[in-house]
Chain A
């Protein structure tokens, strides 16, 4: 298969950035999207890109396209490209590394962009800084335990229903597709998933009010937008995390606001 790639190139955080066009040929339909980029990079490094006349002269042609990736099996959350108008490309419930070239048509033009959000500044090319997510979790996205001194695991029974719901929410991989997809660059699905995961469990209920206040404050502070119920996040989440988690977040927020005040 042959493709024309339009890839966002940006040398560093402060550089201006532009789209660069590359032609790539003889790609197997079984090739994954990232492997296709590997092939492109191989050609860029060795200088064997076909149709190099398409390359604009000012570009550092030898430098391969930078993109984040790690596990390549859809669980680490490291990869994330905005492909032809959809985070993680044109398939549901997958990460970019699970997207295969057979999902495209031969001769397609493919536009590849980094996640765009104020809270996710570009580091280089398609690599963005998602440490904002870590900061939100650090604000309170955990249960305060120290090692040791905890009760036996079966001391508190948890209904299967709650455990399963918590598991669904907890399967978030923190890739940022929800933010990338949202027209407001909102992190509500990410925050909602963590808040509901923990609030659904008896162990997490104790700090629930405090947690939601801290996490939402941090989310606002970091420059994420707010939710306007578009649910693009839900449509693009590679782990199919549901909007119900945002509803749960709102509920937790209201009860935290109305709940017992602290001095």
Chain B
């Protein structure tokens, strides 16, 4: 059949492909979060920040890491952009909504995903302002992240904000983890339940690691 719009022959990205990309990037970011959380645990070492600052030094100076940083940033932005794109097309698929709110038994995580995502973005910007942008020199702050962390996390409202942030991360990851398998077509009758449980465990472990640092620093451990 002849495509009438062949003159605007942009490469078409199908909805499922977009989903797969979002899932792929999500998986990548989830793994990064685990690394990030693990590295953070160094803060809890009673060594005046020796290990942690050494790690930050390495992250801040190694060129391979710098490239990786760009990749990571790109992945994050693409993850956000594709998700928003999907969210918008999904809204357009139902121009007129229902009067009665939906009462089907569903996975709430999914409905919240775009909102937790947006919350995360906001939280992330705040987090970047505290740390990453300081490193880039975009905002003023203490370049010694060990000290910076101690400064920030001991302010009660900031610590609480971070804890709330981690709860949001948990929700986003818990749904995201199982959804990744579903989107990759790996969710089946045999392992479906297991995947969901592992997803909860993964999200919980990562978030607990982050939480441990904030709580630990707050209580001066």
Contact = CB atoms under 8 A, between A and B. Distances in A.
A–B contact with Cβ pairs below 8 Å: the answer is yes
Interface of A: 6, 8, 19, 82, 84-87, 90, 111, 113, 116-119, 181, 183-186, 216-217, 219-220, 223-232, 235-236, 242-244, 246-254, 257
B188 to A, nearest CB: 6
A236 B105 CA distance: 8
Given A229-B175, A244-B189, A247-B187, A235 B105 contact: yes
A113 B102 CA distance: 12
Contact of B106 (A111, A186, A235, A247): A235
A229 B14 contact: no
B100 A113 contact: yes
A81 B102 CA distance: 13
Given A86-B103, A229-B175, A231-B106, A250 B184 contact: yes
Interface string B172-191: 00010011011111111100
Bin the interface of chain B by size: 35 or more
B95 interface: yes
A12 to B, nearest CB: 15
11 contacts: A19-B99, A82-B100, A86-B104, A113-B99, A181-B102, A183-B111, A228-B110, A230-B106, A243-B187, A249-B16, A251-B185
Contact of A117 (B94, B103, B110): B94
B200 to A, nearest CB: 15
B142 interface: no
A241 B192 CA distance: 15
A118 B16 contact: no
Interface of B: 12, 14-20, 86, 89-107, 110-111, 113-114, 175, 178-179, 181-189, 192
A118 B91 CA distance: 10
A183 B108 CA distance: 11
A117 B93 contact: yes
A17 B18 CA distance: 35
Given A119-B93, A253-B16, 14 more contacts: A8-B99, A117-B93, A183-B110, A220-B14, A229-B110, A230-B110, A232-B106, A235-B104, A244-B187, A250-B182, A250-B183, A250-B184, A252-B185, A253-B185
Find the residue from A85, A111, A184 having the highest chain B CB count within 10 A: A184
Given A85-B102, A231-B107, A226 B18 contact: yes
Contacts of B103: 84-86, 90
Nearest to B100: A85
Contact of B113 (A90, A216, A228, A243): A228
A116 B181 CA distance: 29
A235 B108 CA distance: 13
Contacts of A232: 102, 104-106
A111 B182 contact: no
A34 B214 CA distance: 59
